[in-house]
Amino acid sequence: MGGGAVIRVLLGHRGALLRGALATVFATETDLDVVAVLEHADEVLLATARQQPDVLVLDAQLPGDLRVETVMRRAPLTAVLMLSDRDLPAASILGLIRQTPRVGLIATDTSPGELVTAIRGIASGQTVLDQELVLAALRADDNPLTDRERQVLRLVTTGATAQEVARKLCLSSGTVRNYLSRILTKTQARTRIEAVRKAERAGWI
């Protein structure tokens, strides 16, 4: 984009409050023009075809069915900036990373100013990647723990007993104990606390 050009932005976010707040923030920037504000992924392709935005700012957990590859194919001149929670599965984050620089990735807890800067950057062809998200995803990609084992261990970090974990996950106490035994083996830990410490340090939970 040339200097001084207005960046046309399409915003899609699952939360009404945040959606409205972000739209307001963008509207205060003289070089950003919010052309559409959406709450569902199924609206994105049609709105993109109609509005021809320069940048899509999309919640990675926007409700509905949307593949970023489809957006890129249908709108080859549009860049996509994904807003990701830090607990988004590593596979999803790595899938987005492989599509840079046209797809950028930034954490949902970033500041409004940093988000606006990211929009300007990706609109001008720069690579926009949240380094902490990338590093966490790369570490988690080697995670030996299953999704259920991670759930169990996260509950253990809250101080929950095996019985309390079982109730929260609708499992039997015996099943939870089996999960905990496998977690200790995989993390090479002697106690649950040591397993938690090792898993957190490795970025597995």
Domain segments of the chain: what residues? Answer: 7-140, 147-202
Residue range 147-202 forms a domain whose CATH class is mainly alpha
User: Averaged over 41-64, what is the pLDDT?
Assistant: 93
Per-residue pLDDT of 105-131, as tens digits, reads 999 989 999 999 999 999 999 999 998
Using the CB atoms, write b or e for 185-204: b if 16+ within 10 Å.
ebbebeebeebbebbeeebb
Q: Enter the tokens of residue 29.
A: 């920037």
Tell whether domain 7-140 is in CATH 3.40.50.2300: yes
CA–CA gap between residue 123 and residue 26 (Å, rounded): 14
Q: Which has the higher per-residue pLDDT, 49 or 139?
A: 49
| Mean of the per-residue pLDDT values of the chain | 89
The predicted structure's pLDDT at residue 141: 59
Q: pLDDT tier at 140 (50, 70, 90 boundaries)?
A: low
- The model's pTM: 0.67
| Residue 58, pLDDT score | 96
Q: Tens digits of per-residue pLDDT, 155-203?
A: 999 988 999 999 999 999 999 999 999 999 999 999 999 999 888 877 7
